Amino acid sequence: MSLFLVLPPRPIFAKVLENAVGSTLPGVPLAAAGPELTETVTEALARQPDLYVLFREDLQDDTDVPGSLRDGFGAESGDEVIELRLNGERALQARSWRCGDVAAA
């Protein structure tokens, strides 16, 4: 079985990473480091077997994530999906489900 990690759009994810690293390493200049951090994180994750890293803008239909994963990326019933979205506090919140367990939105 595969794991699909659906991240927010690249610019948003880059800013979240930039803020997280900035709060972990206060005083370290990180201006515009977000895109490079995003690339590094996604490359590291992509090396994991059966893990597929996708950004929201990679999906055919942002409102039908299960259908987009199935039709565009070959997701099958039983594959695990972890979606990261921004919550009201502008922090990432994870939602996990299995393909076939959630009806299309």
Rounded mean pLDDT, 69-82: 94
- What is the pLDDT confidence band of residue 105, given thresholds at 50, 70 and 90? very low
Q: Which residues pair with 6 in a beta bridge?
A: 54, 83
Q: Is the pLDDT of residue 68 over 70?
A: yes
Model pLDDT, residue 102: 54
Q: Is residue 21 part of a domain?
A: yes
Q: Is residue 103 part of a domain?
A: no
The dihedrals phi and psi of 19, each to the nearest 5 degrees, come to -65, -40
What angle do helix axes 10-24 and 34-46 make, rounded to 10 degrees?
Answer: 100
Q: Which residue has the higher pLDDT, 66 or 88?
A: 66
Residues of the chain with pLDDT > 90, as a percent, come to: 60
The structure's pTM equals 0.85
Sheet with 51-55, edge to edge strand ranges: 51-55, 3-7, 80-86, 92-98
Q: Is residue 51 part of a domain?
A: yes
For the chain, what is the domain count? 1
Q: Is the pLDDT of residue 85 over 60?
A: yes
Q: Which residue has the higher pLDDT, 44 or 22?
A: 44
Q: What is the overall mean pLDDT for the chain?
A: 89
Rounded mean pLDDT, 43-54: 94
Provide the residue range defining the domain that includes 58.
3-98
Q: Is the pLDDT of residue 41 over 70?
A: yes
Model pLDDT, residue 101: 65
Residue 99, both tokens? 């393909």
